[in-house]
Amino acid sequence: MRPIPKDLQVSKKNESPNYLPVRQKGNEFSWASVTGMVLGNVRQQGLTDYSIEAFREDCHSEFKELLSEPEVWEWLDQMYFSTNAVLNVSPLFLLFKAQKMAREDNEDAAANQRMSDMFSGLLGDFTLADEPNDNLHFLERAMLAVLKRRLRPLGGKGRVQDQPYLPYLAQAFQRDMRFLAAHPEYLMAELTNTLKLYAFAYCSQLSLTVRDWRAGTPAPKELYFILDVEKASTERDKIRDCGYRRLSSTSKELFPVLSAGEVLRSDGPQRPLWRIYDDARRYDDQQALIDELNRYNHEFALPTNRDLPAPPVATTLEDAFKHFVTLAIKQFDGKSGRQTVNQNYVRELEKKVFADFIQFRGRAGNILTLNQDQLLLLTNLAIGRNDKLRFFELLGEFQQRGFFFDNQSQQVLIEFFERMGNVERMSDSGEAVYVRKTV
């Protein structure tokens, strides 16, 4: 199959990139709804037009046959339905949140769907068909049985089959979802926070990766954090140069490059730019691809389109792609009049996805931080099904999820784990320090 379409057409409008969950406006995510949608995708099950009130009536009918004393139902009604505590009985009850009819008026359904699609891209074909191993008493099991009778298969509608832009992050996410599924109470408590963690990891790593399309399958890019209890110092070069500053700089190129990649989309699943280039390098008729990209780049730069300096004629496929990406970015510079669109994307990304991980620290400016709850969650996910990991192995798992720490922060991490009581120290060297999960 030809890796890029024939007769590429220059559009006056930049395409909205499928790989990015934000738009320049309209990003009012409801994490409760997104959580329910992701769980539905993982299980490939959902509810349709089934309200909590209807479920309550079905449970009432069910318990009329199970309970001989009517006042017991009144107690159950007060305990589980008056406060919506029934939603905390089992992870499957999160599926109520995935329904359109259950969403709040101020939610943005399209934004929720985009965020859910982003996680679907990380999940790929991954599913969890096994029932959650809930520790429920017989009344809660009866309520769960009522719910299960209303579950319906999603079929193919709930899953996006685009190729993952960051395969290493997709692998980690799938492992972490399997770990959470093995601990239903922890899943109930932390699934939403896990999704927020991965939304940041995905969008930040995507920012750092999007220009690296010649390198083949991506690997984690360095992005440095400190704990929120640490003091920030301008002398810590990795925190200063490879933290927020790097993220802020690269996020300006995210929409331009991803939007340009939409132009090269062929029939079938969406492919990342690095995959398109890799496929193009393997194509027999290289000159045909070079000619097509040269023609497109020339038309793109014309005064009637983007009014940019004409690129040189490329003689290699790499140069043709390089000019393609350079033009995509230049159209949004300060001289083009289009910069506001890109600025909106950058602003929305920082406000709606990155904000929980950014702190302002005086002379040090904005830095990336993790608080205690975020760190413990990340640690439990990283250790996963293991009982414990060597500290340096744990750092490697952090890095696969996009979180890096310099030497000074590593010492703070060890001290923090020791205060939590989940460290086994065989010696003073890092290789002999083991960290246990808290689940």
Give CA–CA dist 217/122, Å, rounded.
15
CA dist 50 to 57, 97, 103, 147, 164, Å?
Answer: 11, 11, 12, 10, 33
Q: What are the respective helix, strand and coil percentages of the chain, to the nearest 5?
A: 55, 5, 40
Range with the lowest mean pLDDT among 76-85, 134-143, 250-259?
134-143
Q: Which letter, b or e, does each residue of 249-264 get, where b requires 16 or more Cβ atoms within 10 Å of its Cβ?
A: ebbbbbbbbbbbbbbb
> 268 is written with which tokens?
């079938």
Give CA–CA dist 34/41, Å, rounded.
10
pLDDT at 266 over 90: no
Summarize pLDDT for 151-200 with one digit per residue, the tens: 999 865 444 568 999 999 999 999 999 999 999 999 999 999 999 999 99
Summarize pLDDT for 381-420 with one digit per residue, the tens: 999 999 999 999 999 999 999 999 999 999 999 999 999 9
What pLDDT is stored for residue 65 in this prediction? 80
Range with the lowest mean pLDDT among 85-89, 234-238, 423-427?
423-427
pLDDT at 92 over 80: yes
Summarize pLDDT for 284-307 with one digit per residue, the tens: 999 999 999 999 999 999 999 999
DSSP annotation string for 215-229: SSS--PPP-B-EETT
Residue that has been written with the tokens 């738009």 in this structure: 23
pLDDT at 148 over 90: yes
What pLDDT is stored for residue 283 in this prediction? 96
What pLDDT is stored for residue 104 in this prediction? 63
User: pTM score, two decimals?
Assistant: 0.94
**By C-alpha distance, which of 378, 34, 40 is closest to 179?**
378
8-state DSSP, 13: S
Range with the lowest mean pLDDT among 276-280, 404-408, 428-432?
428-432
Q: Mean pLDDT, to the nearest integer, of 41-68?
A: 91
8-state DSSP, 425: E
**By C-alpha distance, which of 230, 163, 261, 264 is closest to 367?**
230
Give me the phi and psi of 389, to 5 degrees please. -135, 150
pLDDT at 103 over 70: no
Residue 323 pLDDT class (50, 70, 90 cuts): very high
Q: Nearest 5°: CA angle at 204, between 198 and 210?
A: 125
What pLDDT is stored for residue 66 in this prediction? 81
**By C-alpha distance, which of 243, 225, 269, 211 is closest to 409?**
225
What pLDDT is stored for residue 134 in this prediction? 74
Q: Mean pLDDT, to the nearest integer, of 17-39?
A: 94
Q: Mean pLDDT, to the nearest integer, of 21-35?
A: 94
Residue that has been written with the tokens 């393997």 in this structure: 282
What pLDDT is stored for residue 158 in this prediction? 46
Q: Which letter, b or e, does each residue of 106-132 get, where b requires 16 or more Cβ atoms within 10 Å of its Cβ?
A: ebbeebbbbbbbbbbbbbbebebeeeb
Summarize pLDDT for 108-126 with one digit per residue, the tens: 889 999 999 999 999 998 9
Q: Mean pLDDT, to the nearest integer, of 208-236?
A: 94
Q: Which domains does the chain have, with CATH numbers?
A: 1-18+234-353 (no CATH), 31-161+166-208 (no CATH), 226-233+354-436 (1.10.10)
Using CA of residue 82, residue 85, residue 89, residue 90, what is the dihedral sign? positive
> How much of the chain, in percent, has pLDDT values that exceed 90?
78
Contact 56, 115 (CB under 8 A): no
